[in-house]
Amino acid sequence: MSQPLVPPPSAEVDRVLRAALQEDLGSAGDVTTRSLVPEDRLACATVLAEEPLVLAGLDLAVRAFTLLDPSARRVSGARDGEDAGVGQVVLQVEGQARALLSAERTALNLLGRLCGIATTTSRVVRRLAGSGSQIFDTRKTTPGLRHLEKYAVRCGGGHNHRLGLYDMALIKENHIAMVGGVGEAVRRVRAGLEQQVPVQVEVSDLGELDEALEAGADLILLDNFDLEMVENAVQRVGGDAVLEVSGGVSPEQAETLARRTGVPRISMGWLTRRAVWCDLSMDIVLAAEKG
């Protein structure tokens, strides 16, 4: 793992899951399950991978069940960040049959989305193995799901860029246009910061790169630089700042950049924007009735 798999904040997880469950249950609840399954019946739900994938969100899926049945418990399964093959059991949960059936779609939707991001990230990370370059995500996440999706990136071996507008100052082209230059923008942000956060600035050419270096930016984002410009920038900067490449980077381009230039960081909206949901299924077996 490139970063510790610290889970998303529990309050964020519960907020997302409660909204998703409410969306499914509405005001009437699960009318099908309530009509067919006695309230006291217990069952075991088994979640299987239907394609090769990297796991992310297993504990979060369990939480979907426990929100409807606090007595539900995970009895076996794999771990986030691990590879899973076709037909592999990735999770088993025991609890009230009604709760398992009613939370099934919420749990599988969450797993499908997060495993898709983790799997996409892992494929890119593996392409860059041994290059010295690291893969970072962006803020191009599903509104309301950022903590969860960035956790999935970590499960796939990637790194998180800033979580929001509060934990890093990132000066972009529209900011620069408002103050008249890269150097001036960096200096104003430095002077205006009320807390210690890294300062990164986006540059569009080598002249702006020199301005950013002179102004003392911590990180410099090379936006839509071609390969030759990135090579030049890496040689120019040395260790004076951390360089990051961004701007429509595909997995193939990321590998070329890493192998040819050794740029320390490559950020990719691809990890979340282009991730395809993974296919997982769930089978439920009722426990034997007592008596």
DSSP per residue over 123-161, as a string?
Answer: HHHHHTTTSS-EEE--S---TT-HHHHHHHHHHTT-B--
**CA distances in angstroms from 202 to 181, 183, 196, listed in the order given:** 11, 11, 19
CATH classification of the domain holding 97: 3.90.1170.20
Q: Do 153 and 269 share a domain, yes or no?
A: yes
Of 12, 24, 173, 223, which residue is the catalytic one?
Answer: 223
Number of H helices, E strands in the chain: 12, 12
Averaged over 245-272, what is the pLDDT?
A: 96
Q: Can you tell me which residue has the tokens 């984002």?
A: 221
The domain tally of the chain equals 2
98 is catalytic: no
CA atoms within 13 A on the CB side of 42: 10
pLDDT digits (tens, 9 = 90+) for 68-123: 999 999 999 999 999 999 999 999 999 999 999 999 999 999 999 999 999 999 99
pLDDT tens-digit series, residues 135-172: 999 999 999 999 999 999 999 999 999 999 999 999 99
In a domain, 5, yes or no: no
- Given 140, 188, 260, 274, which residue is catalytic? 140
Q: Please identify which of the residues 172, 184, 228, 236 carries the catalytic annotation.
A: 172
Write 161-168 long-range contacts (CB < 8 A, 24+).
161/136, 161/137, 161/267, 164/139, 166/197, 167/197, 168/197, 168/198, 168/199, 168/200
Does 2 reside within a domain? no
Give me the catalytic one of 80, 149, 202, 244.
202
Active site (annotated) includes residue 202: yes
CATH number for position 245: 3.20.20.70
Residues 246 and 157 in one domain: yes
Active site residue 105: yes
Residue 238: predicted pLDDT: 87
Q: Is the pTM of this model over 0.85?
A: yes
Residue 281 has phi, psi (to 5 degrees) of -130, 165
Q: Are residues 138 and 86 in the same domain?
A: no
